[in-house]
Structure 1
């Protein structure tokens, strides 16, 4: 769990906000509370590590509407919903739309804290994955079109001889391209190069 991660609590009930802040801070986690979705959006900026603890029913923009807004804007903050008994159907719908969990009132403190820790761990993992992907894409951008071709065929398992035949060049030329690919990608082994190729695959694929 990242030390700079923050649990953002959005709930219009002041007593609930105070209670949640005390509970979460008692475990050493950082907390920021907001009385409305608008108040949260006025201070939050994309890229901040953490998770969002949202009440489903609030005046103005509801928790579900805030979740939808964040999704449309591409904010990748994990969302946990706090729901009353009558909100379960909405919470299930929200989970299908990407929320990580929903906690029903009244809830056990440990259930909520476990959900928060899971969300923070997930946020940390996905941030690390995005950082690794960005680094790989930067290295890929340094390759020439021919080196891209060679890398694609190498990571598809083709031999130098097969690549040479496909490209109409000598095996020695393929070896030279392959060496430059390994150097530019900073790959110490074929297995590492394959891993990088997999990281670079678009998420929609």
Structure 2
């Protein structure tokens, strides 16, 4: 399903202009005249971004921003309000931009394309995190211990001594961990442990110069 741009604005003329600008940029637009209308009709699974006004007929735009953030929807503010405090509040809460009306259509389109890229990246991160967690949960308690110790930089001999098992057994568990986590790379295993928040910061810092995107095998 094509990602949608959600438009929430109580002014019909502004809403129509935003919708026309969104569709002219080749994006799907869905318009709502209130926060309640959006929340009652829209599932967030295909929402790339929401364009909100600070003042809505039935809600504060910042409250709606918080609600959408919990659903994983990226927010962009487009408003007649020019208050610096409101701008700072929106950005601190995660808004990708805060644009004051009137504005040029090109400015809105550029902000939208950036917001969509951010939304797709965030969605990919959430999906990857979910996949990693699913694979980690397939590990046995002993395999999880070995995973953590290997990712912390310990040698097989050290792990064997700490767990009071043989090195051969460590190697077997290590192989199973690599297979279940779908990786052949030690560095990738460290990044996975980092993404799962299993490692202390000291271990993560030691690998910062080797970090990159985690590639999950099929």
Give TM-score, length-normalised by structure 1: 0.90
Distance 1:85 1:47 in 2: 30
Distance 2:16 2:81 in 1: 22
Distance 1:100 1:108 in 2: 17
Aligned-pair Cα RMSD in Å: 1.7
Q: Tell me if structure 1 keeps the 8 A contact 2:7–2:30.
A: yes
What residue number does 2:210 align with?
none
Distance 2:81 2:136 in 1: 51
Would you say how many aligned residue pairs link Structure 1 and Structure 2?
A: 199
What residue number does 2:53 align with?
55
Relative distance call for 1:183 and 1:68 in structure 2 (3 A) is closer
Q: Tell me if structure 2 keeps the 8 A contact 1:56–1:87.
A: no
What residue number does 1:69 align with?
67
Distance 1:77 1:128 in 2: 13
Q: Tell me if structure 2 keeps the 8 A contact 1:83–1:91.
A: no
1:78-107 superposed Cα distances (whole Å, 9 cap, x missing partner):
111112244442232122122221001111
Q: Does 2:184 align with 1:188? A: yes
What residue number does 1:17 align with?
15
The answer for unaligned runs of 5 or more in structure 2 is 202-218
1:22-45 superposed Cα distances (whole Å, 9 cap, x missing partner):
111111111001111111111112
- Give the Å deviation of 1:49: 3.1
State which of 16, 28, 33 in structure 1 corresponds to 2:31: 33
Structure 1 stretches of at least 4 aligned residues deviating more than 6 Å after TM superposition: none
Give TM-score, length-normalised by structure 2: 0.85
- Give the Å deviation of 1:70: 3.1
Which has the larger displacement, 153-162 or 43-52?
Answer: 43-52
1:119-163 superposed Cα distances (whole Å, 9 cap, x missing partner):
111110111111111111111111111110101011111110111
State which of 143, 149, 152 in structure 2 corresponds to 1:153: 149
Distance 2:174 2:60 in 1: 54
State which of 158, 165, 173 in structure 2 corresponds to 1:162: 158
